[in-house]
Amino acid sequence: AWIMTKIDETPHGLVEFRNKAEEGGMDSQSWKDSAFAYVHADGSRANMKDGIASVEVQALAYDALLDAADLYDASSPDVAIELRRYAANLRKKILETFWVDDETKGRFFALGTDHDPVTGELRQLAVRTSNMGRLLNSRLLEGSDAQTTEMRESTIYQLFTPELLAYSGIRTLASDEPAFRPGGYHTGSVWPWDTEYVAAGLERHRYHHLAWNLRERIWRTSQETGAFPEFTRGGTR
């Protein structure tokens, strides 16, 4: 019910977060909770005050709606039908709103969306990040139709480009993005748990060798540092 209410609150049918506090509070309310986690392709900071829809949050919401529908099938089939209707609409919005086809970078899922502070128009945060890898570990990209297959394959391809794949795993932001900083908390660093979540998604789609490529990087990082770091720099070895 909370997810459905959040979707209904926005004119675009997405799950957004925003800082409602007049002073203080957290601007970024997703797992990438740092001040500069959400940026545009030119490197400028996203408009945090009017609502951010982070791409992996949409996938989590989509899965939650379907999982809830499965639970309600036996006891309240009408509720299950309504939940699946919301899920189908959300999936359509995700595929339409977040997909980027860039002449230079290729095809990928945007980090998220924000709003133009003057017009309120929805804008893509068209940067390549680890967030899109989260979609692999979701029902969102399951299926064999042409569109789903292309989006799934393009996402996997992007994750293993030199710009996103670092020595220790998947960078939080691609190295060719203007906002990239090798040690940036969520703008270039590599988080082992984030990389493992992507690996789990690769396993889900039977890309076992690619999944273990990422896990090897995590294991190697732990061995070479003698620890299990929260994150590592996303620059060179």
pLDDT, tens digit (0-9, with 9 covering 90-100), for 99-146: 999 999 999 999 999 999 999 999 999 999 999 999 999 999 999 999
DSSP-derived 3-state class of residue 211: helix
Residue 110's contacts (CB-CB under 8 Å, 6 or more residues apart) are: 55, 98, 99, 100, 124, 125, 126, 127, 132
- Under 8 Å between Cβ of 220 and 168: yes
Tell how strand 99-102 and strand 53-54 pair up. unpaired
Give the tokens for residue 99: 């997909």
Instruction: Please say if the pLDDT value at position 222 is more than 80.
Output: yes
Instruction: Please say if the pLDDT value at position 237 is more than 80.
Output: no
User: Percentage of residues in the chain with pLDDT exceeding 70?
Assistant: 100
Rounded Cα–Cα distance for residues 114 and 86 (Å):
22
- Under 8 Å between Cβ of 136 and 156: yes
In the structure, what pLDDT confidence band is assigned to residue 22 with cuts at 50, 70 and 90? confident
For 171, list phi and psi in degrees, rounded to 5: -70, 145
Mean pLDDT along residues 77-99: 98
Q: How far is CA 122 from CA 11, 98, 115, 116, 125, in A?
A: 10, 11, 5, 7, 10
For 80, list phi and psi in degrees, rounded to 5: -60, -40
Beta partners for residue 17, in sequence order:
52
Instruction: Please say if the pLDDT value at position 223 is more than 90.
Output: yes
Instruction: Please say if the pLDDT value at position 193 is more than 90.
Output: yes
- Under 8 Å between Cβ of 123 and 38: no
In the structure, what pLDDT confidence band is assigned to residue 19 with cuts at 50, 70 and 90? confident
In the structure, what pLDDT confidence band is assigned to residue 161 with cuts at 50, 70 and 90? very high
